[in-house]
Amino acid sequence: APQLGALWRAMYEHVAALPDEEVAKGIEPLPGVLDTLRDLASDEMRERVRCGLVTGNVEGIARKKMRAVGVYATGALAPAAVEQQWEGEDDAAFLGGFGSDFCSGDIDDAARNYLDRAEQIVIAARRARSALPP
């Protein structure tokens, strides 16, 4: 799916060119989310919890959005796994599974949608395991 990769890159480049304030328009974390993430970022919790994100977004767009709405600034999101190779918004890289990690490309088969999303969760879980101490 080389065309799919080029499409993701074009989508990312469009969003990357926007200021964070523009990207954040119409998006806000649910009440209590930022406070909860700050609690999870405490030294006590950081030893026991690794936070990440699973989203259908292209990884670079997710990074930009999470920075724009203040989620990244909470310090709760674990660093990106070694296998995460997305280039862009590197200052806001975090652990997760993204639409750009897995998409069957079979957009005409409605039954594929949940399977593609489930694969993103599997990818995120594998990455989270790799971030844990041995």
Structural contact between residues 75 and 94, judged by C-beta atoms closer than 8 angstroms:
no
Q: Output the pLDDT for position 36.
A: 97
Length of the chain: 134
- In a 13 Å sphere around the CA of 4, the CA atoms on its Cβ side amount to 11
Q: Output the pLDDT for position 115.
A: 67
Question: Is pLDDT above 60 for 1?
Answer: no
Structural contact between residues 77 and 95, judged by C-beta atoms closer than 8 angstroms:
yes
Q: Output the pLDDT for position 112.
A: 64
pLDDT tens-digit readout, 6-31: 898 999 999 999 999 999 999 999 99
pLDDT tens-digit readout, 99-133: 888 776 666 676 666 667 788 888 999 999 988 87
The pTM of this model reads 0.86
What is the Cα–Cα distance from 121 to 73, expressed in whole angstroms?
A: 23
